[in-house]
Amino acid sequence: MAEETKKERVDRELIELLNELRVALPGVQVLFAFLLTVPFSQRFSQITAVQKDVYFATFVSAAAATIFLIAPSANHRIQFRQDDKEALLLRSNWLAIVGTVFLATAVMGTTFLITDILFGRLATTITTAILAGLLVWFWYGVPIFRRLTGPGQRRTP
């Protein structure tokens, strides 16, 4: 099999990135839609000040995640046929990573809110901490670990 050219590699990597974003976007859109409805529910007026602050931070994080995760597609359309694909790819990769950070924040905020309303602070602390740990490890820890150990290393964390 022949080695791919730099142009072929950039094209392939951009397609891979855009396909990965297709996986993340429906989740963030559903979460954002859910968060849009929460203030209009009957029980929203009964939430605590902490819950209201967490709700607002979660809502803003979901909005930011939407912005950052859709940005690569918008950039790609606007820069269509401008012979700047490598710069587009590098910028889009950064935008996608930032988008996942905001998405992670929104997921954890939602977890906090729902658990706190249903079960109280102890269950909230335990559940949110466990899920945050899993999220951080599998979304960021594993790939960073693999990046630091090099592509030739086949250790599974």
| Domain boundary assignment for the chain | 7-39+46-149
**pLDDT category of residue 74 using cuts at 50, 70 and 90:** confident
d(CA 24, CA 71): 13
Pick from 73-77, 107-111, 117-121: least confident: 73-77
Residue 144 confidence class, pLDDT cut points 50, 70, 90 = very high
The mean-pLDDT minimum among 4-8, 117-121, 133-137, 152-156 falls in 152-156
- Cα 77 to Cα 121: distance, rounded to the nearest angstrom: 46
Report CA 13 to chain centroid distance, whole Å: 19
Tell me the DSSP string of 89-142.
HHHHHHHHHHHHHHHHHHHHHHHHHHHHHHH-HHHHHHHHHHHHHHHIIIIIIH
- Whether the per-residue pLDDT at 152 is higher than 70: the answer is no
Q: Looking at 31-35, 67-71, 79-83, which range is the least confident one?
A: 79-83
Is 90 exceeded by the pLDDT of residue 55?
yes
Distance CA 157, CA 149 (A): 11
SS3 for 45-97, per residue? HHCCHHHHHHHHHHHHHHHHHHHHHHHHHHHHHHCCCCCCHHHHHHHHHHHHH
132's tokens: 């945050």
Specify the pTM: 0.85
pLDDT of residue 108: 97
Q: Which amino acid does the sequence have at 21?
A: L
